[in-house]
């Protein structure tokens, strides 16, 4: 992969160069030392992935991510000195279109190969996400305990998702009658923090989903592991490792298909901004079952990948700008 590095600290740049050099299939395409330069480089020489720092001159990594996704969209991985210490900025960058985040490897570590593994693993994961479509099993008919339950709002999102989710959830009232389950492509290390951040953006309570949970009216549950969230035959939520081959973890398609298979109450499928195709096939299955399906439109998507795939499959009954999705949900949940 051709990789662009955006960082103004020479030691950090050198650490990333040495990490990338451990893999002959990767090479550093360019190094930008501020956000404005990063945007110019992405327009002139689009890389396969950008390693984006958060704190830089001119404008920070969040704004750089936002401008890159508007002018020359490409995969962006936040690489910063401490993801934990910069969690809120990380979520802002992901809301602007970044795919994931990882700590910067350091030259001080005597075992460079070990210190480089988290970064290289994230780069590999992004490579798989861009190259391989999701293959999901055909849903089977099954009994379920969800008849008569509150309407289930199943939401899938990826790059740009945190901001889009905050925009939708922030417009829903505290007495919203639907139960909401979200599958956002996010590493399990960030899921708890993201749930807390989303909780601060809406009147609805937001928390991570744990095995055995049942969707409840007025509550938002967020998938929180690198396994796939799904609705079990009993109507409760659980995590499963299969399909293991999918680069999307957790997978929106897996969750949407489980709704079709095991949820017998009313449901609405929503597919927001994201890179790739995850969720499109599952949304198509939801529409085929008679559920209302919604996809975010191109103009308001940070990354028009997943919603575009859904539109191409005619999976979305409604294609709406981000600002109209909450209103559609409120009108549909009585």
Q: What are the sequence ranges of the domains in the chain?
A: 2-131, 152-332
Report, as residue numbers or ranges, the catalytic residues. Answer: 158, 185, 278
Predicted pLDDT at 17: 92
**What Cα–Cα distance (Å) separates residue 39 from each residue in 20, 142, 275, 286, 332?**
22, 50, 19, 39, 41
Strand partners, 153: 180, 268
Encoded tokens for 216? 């409840």
Instruction: Indicate if 152-332 has the same CATH topology as 2-131.
Output: yes
| Beta pairing class for 228-231 and 237-240 | antiparallel
The gap between the terminal CA atoms of the chain, to the nearest Å, is: 49
**What Cα–Cα distance (Å) separates residue 124 from each residue in 77, 117, 166, 222?**
11, 10, 29, 25
Check pLDDT > 80 for residue 247. no
Q: Which pLDDT tens digit goes with each residue over 130-144?
A: 664 444 443 443 333
Predicted pLDDT at 326: 97
Tell me the average pLDDT across 12-31. Answer: 91
Check pLDDT > 80 for residue 323. yes
Lowest mean pLDDT among 99-113, 117-131, 220-234, 259-273: 99-113
Reported as half-sphere exposure (CB side, CA atoms, 13 A), residue 91 has a value of 23
- Of 312, 327, 318, 310, nearest to 291 by C-alpha is 318
DSSP 295: E
When the pLDDT of each residue in the chain is averaged and rounded to a whole number, the result is 88
Residues 228/240, Cβ–Cβ less than 8 Å? yes
Lowest mean pLDDT among 117-126, 134-143, 193-202, 316-325: 134-143
Q: Which pLDDT tens digit goes with each residue over 279-301?
A: 999 999 999 989 999 999 999 99
Predicted pLDDT at 96: 85
- Report residue 112's pLDDT band, with 50, 70 and 90 as the boundaries: low
Check pLDDT > 70 for residue 102. yes
Query: Is domain 2-131 annotated with CATH 3.40.50.11690?
Result: no
Superfamily of domain 152-332: Methylesterase CheB, C-terminal domain (3.40.50.180)
Predicted pLDDT at 125: 83
Tell me the average pLDDT across 180-205. Answer: 91
More reliable by pLDDT, 334 or 204? 204
Q: What is the radius of gyration, based on Cα positions, of the chain?
A: 20
Tell me the average pLDDT across 288-316. Answer: 94
Q: Which pLDDT tens digit goes with each residue over 204-233?
A: 999 999 999 999 999 999 999 889 999 998
How many whole angstroms from its chain centre is CA 212?
Answer: 23
Tell me the average pLDDT across 309-314. Answer: 93
- What percentage of residues in the chain have a pLDDT greater than 90? 61
- Of 231, 224, 280, nearest to 249 by C-alpha is 224
- Report residue 146's pLDDT band, with 50, 70 and 90 as the boundaries: very low
Predicted pLDDT at 182: 97
Q: Which pLDDT tens digit goes with each residue over 49-87?
A: 999 999 887 789 999 999 998 888 899 999 988 877 777
- Of 274, 282, 277, nearest to 255 by C-alpha is 282
């Amino acid at each position: 992969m051709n990789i662009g590095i955006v960082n103004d600290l020479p030691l950090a740049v050198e650490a990333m160069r040495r990490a990338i050099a451990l893999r002959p299939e990767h090479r550093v395409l360019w190094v930008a030392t501020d956000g404005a330069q990063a945007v110019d480089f992405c327009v002139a020489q689009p890389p396969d992935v950008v390693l984006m720092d958060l704190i830089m001159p001119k404008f920070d990594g969040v704004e750089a991510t936002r401008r890159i996704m508007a002018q020359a969209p490409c995969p962006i991985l936040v690489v910063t000195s401490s993801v934990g210490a910069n969690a809120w900025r990380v979520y802002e960058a992901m809301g602007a279109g970044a795919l994931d985040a990882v700590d910067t490897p350091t030259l001080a570590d005597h075992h460079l190969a070990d210190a480089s593994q988290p970064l290289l693993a994230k780069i590999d994961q992004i490579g798989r996400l861009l190259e391989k479509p999701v293959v999901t099993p055909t849903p089977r008919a099954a009994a379920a305990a969800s008849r008569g339950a509150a309407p289930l709002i199943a939401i899938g999102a990826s790059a740009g998702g945190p901001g889009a989710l905050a925009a939708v959830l922030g417009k829903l009232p505290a007495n919203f009658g639907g139960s909401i389950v979200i599958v956002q492509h996010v590493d399990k290390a960030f899921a708890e923090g993201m749930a807390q951040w989303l909780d601060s953006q809406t009147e609805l309570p937001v928390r991570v989903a744990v095995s055995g949970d049942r969707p409840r009216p007025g509550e938002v549950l967020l998938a929180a592991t690198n396994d796939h969230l799904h609705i079990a035959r009993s109507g409760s939520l659980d995590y499963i490792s299969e399909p293991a081959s999918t680069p999307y973890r957790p997978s929106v398609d897996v969750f949407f298909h489980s709704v079709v298979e095991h949820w017998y109450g009313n449901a609405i499928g929503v597919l927001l901004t994201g890179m790739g195709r995850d969720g499109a096939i599952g949304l198509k299955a939801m529409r085929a079952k008679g559920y209302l399906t919604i996809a975010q439109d191109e103009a308001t998507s940070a990354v028009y990948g997943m919603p575009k795939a859904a539109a191409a499959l005619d999976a979305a009954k409604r294609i709406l700008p981000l600002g109209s999705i909450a209103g559609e949900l409120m009108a549909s949940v009585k």
